[in-house]
Each structure stands twice: as C-alpha cells, then as structure tokens.
Chain A
Amino acid sequence: MSGAYDPLMPWTLAWLAPYIGATVIALGWLLKVRSEKFYGYTSVLSILVSSLISTYAAYKVFSQAKPIYAGGDVVWVPWFNITLGTYFDGLSALMSLTVSWISLMIAIYSVKYMEGDWGYGRYFFFFSFFVGSMMLLVLADNLVLMFIGWEGTGLCSYALIGHWYTDEEDKWVGKPGRYVLGTQMFFEPSHSGVRAILFTRVGDLGFILGIAILYITTGSFNIIELASRAPEWMQTLASKGILAPLLLIFILGALAKSAQFPFHEWLVTAMTGPTPISALIHAATMVKAGIYLFLRITPILFTGALALKASPEVFSLVVSQLEHFFIIIALAGALTAFMLATMALVSDELKLILAYSTASQIGYMFLAAASAGLLVYTGAIETLVEGLVAGFSHLVSHAVFKASLFLIAGWLIHLAHSRFINDMGGYSTIKLTALALWLSGLSLSGIPPLSGFFTKEAVIHTAISANTLLGLAAIVTAGLTAAYTVRVIVRVLHLPPYSGHGKHKVEEAPISMLAPYLLLALASLAIGLLWPSMANIYSRMGLLTLSVGELVHLEAIVISGTTVLAVLVVLASIALIFLLYFTLKVNFPALLGRGGLYSALHNFLYDRWYINPLVYLSFVNGGAKLARSVEGVDINIDLLYHSATPSTGSLSAWSLRVLHRGRTDYYLALYLLSALVLLFLVLALMR
C-alpha cells in the first residue's frame, strides 16, 4: 500500500458518531437523566451526523472517481499493522449511505413509537451502538476492525430482540402452546435474543477461523492489501486444495448473519423485539452484513482468478475450486429464497411473514453474486459487475421497501392490538398507510415500475445466465413472493377480520411515524422511475469498487423472454390471490379445520419444514444430554472424594496406628528393618 491517506476526520465520524451517541446515552442513563427526549434526540442526532458524512463521502467518491481512505496510517495494533482505517469505495460508500439514512428514518420513527416504554434509554443506547457497529463493519479497512463491528451488531441484536425481556405473552412470536415433535414453536423475547446470538455465533466461528487462516497465509488483515494480493494467496490455497473449503468456512459467518439456510431460524423468531428493531435488523443492519461481506469478497475472488489467466493450469485449478464455492452459495441462496417464501405463504403473523420474506430476498442477493462468480471461467468482467450490481441494487431496493413494510406493520399491530393478520382487516380507510403498503408491497412483489421490479429482474437475469435451473428457481420464488405479499395486503386492507377480535379505532399514524414509512414507500417508487439514472450510478459503483476498477455500462433493463415469463408468473400469482379471496371467497381457517392434504401441507410449512425441531433435537437436546452426563461423572468423582478419601485416610491412619504399639522393642525392630531396606536401595543404586 502506498500513497497519501485522507485525514482521520471527518470520515471516521461516519461510524464513530453513533458510538459517541451511545456513550452519551449511557452517561445520561448512569446519571439518571429522566427526559426521554434526551435519549431519542441524542440517538437521532448522532445517526444524522453519520448520514451526512456518508452522503458527503459518497458524493466525493463518485464525483472525484477515487476512493477515500482515511486513517490508513493510524496504527492501532502495531504488531499486526492493524489500523483505524475507514475505506469508502464505490460499494462501501453506497452501502454506508443506505445503512445510515434508513437507520435515521427508523430512529425518527422510534422516538414516537417507543414513547413511554420502560426501557427507552436502553433502547436508544443499543440502537445507536447497533448503527455504529454496522457502519464500522461496512467501512473498516481491515478484517479485525470489521469483526469488531460484526460482533457489535450481534450483541446489540441480542439486547434489542430481547428488549422486552419480561416476556409478556403479547410480545411472543409463534402461536402460544404450539409444539412440534416435542419442540416448542413459540418464543419469548429473552429466548429469541439468545437464539439470535447463538445461531449467528456458529457462523462467526467460521468467520474467525477464515480470518486467521488468511492472516497466516498472507501476513495481513488489511482488506485492500488482501485484494491486491489475491492472485498470490488464492494460488497458494488452491495448490493445497483448500481454497474452496477455506472460503466456505470464511463465509459461514455471512450466511449465519444473513439468515441463510441452515441458519435462518434465528431471524424468524427475532420478531419479538420492538417493530422498529425488526425494521432495523431486516432493512439496514445485521442481516445485510452477511450479504455485504459476500459482495465485498466476490470481486476480489473474481479478479484474483482472472489475474492468473496467464498460467492456464493455475487458472483452471483456481476456477474449478471457485466454482465449487460459488455453486454451494448459489444453491444455499436459491434454497433459502424458495423455502422461506413457502413459509411466508401460510404464516398468520404479520411480522413473521415479513421476516420470512427478508431471508428469502437475501437469498436472491446471494444467488445473484454467486451466479456472477460461477461465470468466472468466461473471464468477462461484465458478468462480475452485472452480478455485483444485481445483488447490491436488490439490497438497496429491499432495504427501502422492507423498512417501510416493517414500520407500517408496527402501526397496524398497534391498531389491531394483535400481531396476527387474521385479527386485522378493513384498514383501507387509512389512505396514506394503505398507499404506502401497496407501494412497498408491490415493490417487493416485483411489479414495474417500482424499484423491486428492476432489481429482481437483474437477479433473475444473472442467475439464468449462470444456470437455467437456478434462474427458474428464482422465477418460481418471485411468484411465491407476489402471492404472500398480496395476500397480506388484501387481508389487512380490504377484507374484514376473520376473528371476532375487538373493533379498535382506525386512524393514521402520527406524522413522525407516518412520514418515515410513507417517504420510504415513495422512495421505492422514485428509484424505480429513475431507474436509468440509478443504473448509471451502479455502473460507476462497479468502476469504483475494490478489485473491479473497470467501467461497465449496464443496460437499465434487458427485456427478454425471461423478463416476460417472470412478470407473467408474478401477475398470475396476484390474480390467483384475488380469485381466492374475492371471487371464490375461500374460508381458509374453515378449510384448515377439515384436515386432509391441505392441512398437512399447511402444517408442514407453518412449522417451518420442521427444521427448528430438528435443530433442537439434534444439537440443543444432544448438547444438554452430554453436559448432564459429564456432570454425572463429576458428581460421582465428588462422591468418591467424600467416601473413598476419608476411607483411605481412616485405613492409612489405622495401618499406621497399628505400627505404633508403644513398645520399645517393636520400634527398634522397625528401625532396623527400615535401615536394612535403605541399605539395599543404596547398594542397588551404587552398582
């Protein structure tokens, strides 16, 4: 690495400001400041600073067409040359922009939403810390600093998912009392928090292991250096046959963080936190960390392999191992997208449906980037940029409409006094909220001209270029997505509640809550309408992203047979929902009560393909049994101390006392005997 670095400030404030905000909140909390406004406004202000710095940085990166590298010369750990570097390139600049502004919207919404909550100060402390950690992992110039941010998001997610740790039933997720294969299928906030941190921790172990191996191989934690030396270490690892396994281990953390199969279980029960936290985790932070890491390393691997083209044998060796790696990720992405979409079809909890949807959509993002990786053998940098942009643009698009959907959900749950959609209905009278829900929902469904349409088409296009079956899986999932989304919208806006749930007053949310989700929904429309300009920005992002450095002009959209097919599938799904709910007026609860195939299939999907019971039966219960058996051994050892030791002591004491009979002749005999034994020993040694 060479060249002058940018100054530490103000760029470091992009991630430091929310941390400072959290520290101020903590101090206020310790000093027992009572004003709620102090906590809320401090958090909002600190995130605003972060947003403004990120915006300025993105402007500078894109206008000057060169990355900002601040603090690369400020060494924190001299031995490892770990710096306090903040790195804005095309990818991280747009990512930090997305994270900070969406977090700001959610923070503003939270000020009102959390009003009167008994954990108000604690909420905003962890909120700010969460945003700071996410910004740190996005902007860190080295893997250790990134890991610190990574773990920070994990800790905060634990605290925020379990925010209502007193575990009142209305804060649970899942149907109370439901058990499958003897395993509990409903979760309290405190339990969900533990699940979140433990599930993601499993992946984190792989991440740490990968970091350590990379360091030992290259002698560096610096991401920029690792990128520039990628051909070297990729060749070394490939020659040992461990490139693909190492990358899989390394990316385990990303898969877990982004709730991809088989780590998705934590996300679906993370809905026990306050709704703005669900929005934060799903839209801007935490789950996006994993896919961000994957998007960060994909260009490094792709161009690292291309640099080895001069040596066909080495290139072929590296590419074959990369293909193994990328196909596994692509399959995990496609499977997660499909599997979670089927779960969303039958779920009856509003936030849970959105949670399934998040994991499913992130599956799309992994699929896009991995599909680009699968095309590394072509040697065409265009395929890399297309995949990178498809994955990242869907990330941004999803962040916007999903934040809006969660914030709307928060208000609808408040109105219905229930988290179940069957208790909701007839909310079309609140026009602005209904508009926001339709816009965001249709964007999620992939309806033109909303942003979701363009980004999902890009994903499908990339996937089908890499592998037809992967592309078809993406199209089928698009149909399922449209179905579950429109089902929810129709259910809560245009139909009366199924249940006899009490009628509550229906009104628009206060302006400070309405504005964030309405703006986000409109942003989803605006991004779609301005898509040609957005495509241009994303092209430039490719140019300015680490390891890419090449301008590839992307078409705003390529209308192909695949595009038509995907849109037809989506429209057919929507039409089917309308048919079922409005024309045939199917009474699903009654249908469910009759049993049969529909009921069996419903239960299979409702119980999440039985994956949760399987995880508990194999790992959790198995671990507990092992621990109990070890404890049993320990108790027996303890008993041994209690019985055998005193017995031995008594026996020894008795034996020794037997020798002490108080007779002089006896002592003399013993003395002579001992001397004789000693004499024999000495003689033996002397020989």
Chain B
Amino acid sequence: MLVVEVLVYVTLAASLIIPLIASLGHERSKAILAVSWTGVLSFTLASLIMLSSGKPVEFYSGLVSHDSFTTLILVGASLSAILALAAVSSDAYKWPSHPAFYSLTLLILFGVFYLAGARNILLVAASWLLVSVASYVTIALPGDRDSRFAAVRYVYVGAAATLLIALWLSAHVYASGGGLEATHFQALPRDPIVSVALTAALAAFGFKLGIFPFHWWLPSVYGKADGRPVAVVAGIAKLGFIGLTVRLLVDSFSGSQETGLILAVLSVLTMTYGNVAALTATDLQRLLAYSSIAHVGYILAAMAVAVSTSESQLFKLALAGIALQSIAYTTAKTPLFSAVADAGRDFEKELKGLLAGDRAASISIAILLASLLGIPPLIGFWGKLYMFIPLAKYSLILLAIALVNSGVSSAYYIRALRNITASPGEAPSRLHDTYRFSVILGAFTAIILGFIAPLVLILFP
C-alpha cells in the first residue's frame, strides 16, 4: 500500500509547508487554504483506498496495521477534517497565530493514522504525544481568554493522562515479557500487573475520551473554548483515541468478564452523567459537550460486549456499531461546534428563531441533532442499532439503561430544536456561508451514510 503511505505523507508535508508559506510573508495567502485542502483530501483518499481494499492493511513491517474498524475510524476523521475546514475556511486568518490552525489540523490527522493503527507501544506513545500536544495548542489558537484558559486546563489533565499512559505501557512491556507489540498482553488474570495496567489504561483513555469519573475537564474545554478548534479536537483527535482505546483494551483484555463488567459500569455512569447534565443546559456548546460524554458512554457499552463476548458475530457487530457511532458522532459534532462559534451558543437567545433567519442551516442542524438522537434512517440510528443489538445478548439491564438514556437525550435535543424553530426575538440569526455549507454538508453526509451504513457490515466478514 505504497500509495496510501504517500498520500499520508502528503498530509504531513502539507502540514509542514503551511508554516513555511506563512514565514515567507504570505500569512493570508489563499495558498494556505489550498495546501490545507490538499492535505485533507489526500488523507481522505488514503482512507477510502484502504476501505475499498476490504482487508487489513499493514505498514512499516506491521508496526502500523489498519483493519476494517480502524479504517472506518480514519474515514470518520477525514470527514471531520473536511467539515471543520469547510466551516472555518479562511476565518482562522484572523487569529493571532493563524497558520498554526491549518497546520495542526493536518498534523492531528496525520497522527490519528498512527494512533489508531499502532501495533507497537513506542509508536503508541509517540502518536499519543503528537496528537495530544497538537490538540492542546489547537484549543488555545483563537487567543481569546476562554480558549486560553481551556487550553491550560486541557494541558494539566492531559499531562496527567500522558503519565498514566506511560504507566500502562510499562505494565504492558512487563506483561509481554519485554516485547513491544501492543497486542501481546499476556499477564495472568490474577497478576497484580493486570490491575495496574487496567487502572492506568482506563484513567488515561478516560481522560482523553471523557469517561466518568475522568471527564471533569471536558465540559470546561469542549463547552467553553472557541467551537472551531473544539470541532477539530472533538472530531478528529477524539476518533483517533477511540480507535486506540477500543483496539488496545479489546486486544489486551479479550474474554475478560471482569473487564467487561468494569466497562459496563463506567458506561452506565458516563452516559447517565452526560445525559442528565445536558438536560437543563441552555448553551448549545455546553449541551454538545455533555452529550459527547453520553456518546462515549454508549460506545463503552458496546466495548463491554466486545471485550467479554466469545461469539465472533457479536464481537464484529459491536465493533461495527462503535465505528458507525463514531462516524455519526463526528459528522454531527464537527459542524455543530463550528456553527455555534459563528452564530452564538445560547439557544434561548442567539440561536432562538434561527429557522426564520436561516432555513437551510436550521434544517441541517435539526438533521444533525436527529442523527445524534438516533432517528432512522440517519447514520446515528445504525450506530446505535448495531451497538444495542449485541447488548441485548450481553445484558438486558445494560440495554434498558442505554435505551432509557437515549430517551432522556431526546428531551434536550428536542428542546434545542424547539428553540431553533421558535419565533425569533428580534433580528433572527444567520450563519455565515462557510458555516452554513458545513452544516448542510454534515446533514447531507448523515443522510447518505444512513443509506450506506447497513452495508458496512460486509467489511466485517
């Protein structure tokens, strides 16, 4: 797959060229945008080539390997990058260190390729650091007070998470007898190292994904920083971490009922916390932040099945569900976070009556919220369906809790929708062209993928 490698390197090259263009004095040149699009599209093409091959693809003598699951994660990250770039377009030129936004977005995308596919723990550590550091800086880029404060908080907890991932990796090396392969975790179930490794891993991944009780930073960062960099971090970077988390935990603790139980308990806590906290939020960005926590809760439930089941059908179904849910999540969250940065975040004030001012954007937002809610036949429906069906076999109680949570989430999504379609106070809001285009594209993607999603299972033979 030399062509894929080349295309991914194009993304890296684009990321490095952008600061050069800026340093040559062309800080607001259209060339920056053109190079950014080249990087994003070449990464998308690379993902699609891997997807079309329909089989696992290895790179660097097996150091990086992408199966159907991680390839779908990369497709999701590509879509997120397209939507984020479409929304921001040249708006980031106004930021103090604007070329960095385009460069770091591509760098995160490049890092996600290795993060999701790493089979060697040193590569896991390297890509973890690359994506993490790029994410911290990205959050601070707009330069406003809230973004800078959010970035500081993100760095604090991120650093702690990185320390814990180092602990996990050490335990991994120990358990695999000194080997560096990420999939060879061979400690005995009663070995204390398993407890250390699992705790460290959950705490580290929990920080990154927003798993309860490691999620505290997330509402502050996702909910308060400028929505545009949040879209990149919550869309692209998070997918990389989801890919890594699922693969490492599932590989390392496969068949472990105890791990499944722990994941199930964390899942219930995470989804319930996210949904309940979102109920009374009147700030759409904060609502999206809480609902991000809830979505990770659903994903954890499917992970619990994937870790503990011995039935290959259920395992594949759970993985397909996680992949689709991740794509549904990112195709909705990226344009929505970007849109609130443009139109305002308070849906009882700035966003109230958006329908009157911007029909196409409002309808698209409604479709994206419906996809997050899991309304058929949008992509979000298939993600939830594929995740919830194996749950029925794993634990009816967990399924019932997930469904009740899904029902609770309809309260806040519909409340947001009601405000958007209500009569406007004074002059109705209107999205700028690029943000409108992004939400329309996101909605269109959610619909089209809704029809294609049922076929995704073919990729999991």
Contacts and interface: CB of A to CB of B under 8 A. Distances in A.
B153 A641 contact: yes
Q: Name which of B153, B280, B393, B458 has the most chain A CB atoms within 10 A of its CB.
A: B280
Given A144-B385, A212-B392, 10 more contacts: A30-B360, A162-B421, A198-B411, A202-B407, A209-B392, A209-B396, A212-B399, A626-B279, A627-B278, A630-B276
B276 A151 contact: no
Interface in A75-90: 76-79, 82
B414 A212 contact: no
Interface string B383-394: 001001101110
Given A148-B377, A165-B423, A627-B276, A209 B410 contact: no
For chain B, give the interface size range. 35 or more
A197 interface: yes
Contacts of B153: 641, 645
Contacts of B377: 148
A165 B396 contact: no
Contacts of B455: 77-78
A212 B389 contact: yes
Given A167-B423, A201-B407, A212-B389, A623 B279 contact: yes
A194 B418 contact: yes
Q: Which 9 A-B pairs have the closest CB atoms?
A: A627-B279, A77-B454, A79-B457, A212-B392, A166-B423, A148-B376, A627-B280, A205-B403, A216-B392
B63 interface: no
Contact of B370 (A155, A165, A198, A213): A155
B174 interface: no
Contacts of B415: 194
Contacts of B276: 623, 626-627, 630
A628 B414 CA distance: 18
Contacts of B279: 623-624, 626-627
B454 A82 contact: yes
B310 to A, nearest CB: 16
B360 to A, nearest CB: 7
A205 B376 contact: no
A215 B388 CA distance: 11
B273 interface: yes
Interface of B: 153, 156, 216-217, 219-220, 273, 276-281, 317, 360, 370, 375-377, 381, 385, 388-389, 391-393, 396, 399-400, 403-404, 406-408, 410-411, 414-415, 418, 421-423, 454-455, 457-458
A205 B407 contact: yes
A197 B220 contact: no
A197 B410 contact: yes
Contacts of B422: 165-167, 190
Contacts of A628: 280
Interface of A: 30, 76-79, 82, 144, 147-148, 151-152, 155, 158, 162, 165-167, 190-191, 193-194, 197-198, 201-202, 204-205, 208-209, 212-213, 215-216, 623-624, 626-628, 630-631, 634, 637-638, 641, 645
B410 A627 contact: no
Given A162-B421, A638-B219, A216 B393 contact: yes
Taking each of A197, A624, A626, A627, which has the highest tally of chain B beta carbons within 10 Å of its own beta carbon? A627
B360 A634 contact: no
A165 B421 contact: yes
18 contacts: A79-B457, A148-B377, A162-B421, A197-B410, A197-B414, A201-B410, A209-B392, A209-B396, A212-B392, A215-B392, A623-B279, A626-B276, A627-B278, A627-B280, A630-B273, A630-B277, A631-B277, A645-B153
Given A190-B421, A194-B414, A641-B217, A631 B392 contact: no
A216 B16 CA distance: 51
A631 B454 contact: no
A638 B375 CA distance: 33
A389 to B, nearest CB: 32
Nearest to A638: B220
B409 to A, nearest CB: 10
Contacts of A202: 407
B410 A198 contact: yes
Contacts of B381: 151
Contact of A158 (B414, B457, B458): B414
A630 B399 CA distance: 23
Contacts of A193: 418
A209 B219 contact: no
Contacts of A215: 389, 392
Contacts of B273: 630
Contact of B281 (A198, A204, A631): A631
Nearest to A645: B156
Contacts of A631: 277, 280-281
Chain B CB count within 10 A is highest, among A151, A204, A628, for A151
B352 to A, nearest CB: 11
A209 B400 contact: yes
Contacts of B370: 155
A155 B381 CA distance: 14
Contacts of A191: 418
A76 B453 CA distance: 10
A158 B393 CA distance: 33
A659 to B, nearest CB: 21
Nearest to A620: B411
B207 to A, nearest CB: 14
Contacts of A78: 454-455, 457-458
A142 to B, nearest CB: 12
B421 A209 contact: no
B167 to A, nearest CB: 16
B135 to A, nearest CB: 18
Nearest to B411: A198
A205 B388 CA distance: 12
Nearest to B220: A638
B277 A634 contact: yes
Residue of A155, A165, A201, A212 with most partner-chain B CB within 10 A: A212
A212 B454 contact: no
Contacts of B403: 205, 208-209
Contacts of B407: 201-202, 204-205
A147 B376 CA distance: 8
Given A155-B370, A198-B410, A630-B273, A162 B280 contact: no
A27 to B, nearest CB: 13
A204 B396 CA distance: 16
A638 B224 CA distance: 11
Nearest to A197: B414
A151 B375 contact: yes
Contacts of A76: 454
Nearest to B410: A201
Contact of B392 (A205, A213, A623, A638): A213
A254 B220 CA distance: 41
Contact of A641 (B220, B385, B408, B457): B220
A624 B408 CA distance: 11
Nearest to A32: B359
Nearest to B278: A627
B396 A213 contact: yes
B280 to A, nearest CB: 4
A637 B216 contact: yes
A224 to B, nearest CB: 20
Contacts of B385: 144
A212 B280 contact: no
Nearest to B382: A77
Contacts of A627: 276-280
A364 to B, nearest CB: 29
A78 B156 CA distance: 47
B356 to A, nearest CB: 9
A165 B457 CA distance: 41
Q: Which of A148, A167, A631 has the most CB of B within 10 A?
A: A631
Nearest to B216: A637
Contacts of B457: 77-79
Contacts of A166: 422-423
A70 B399 CA distance: 33
A436 B375 CA distance: 40
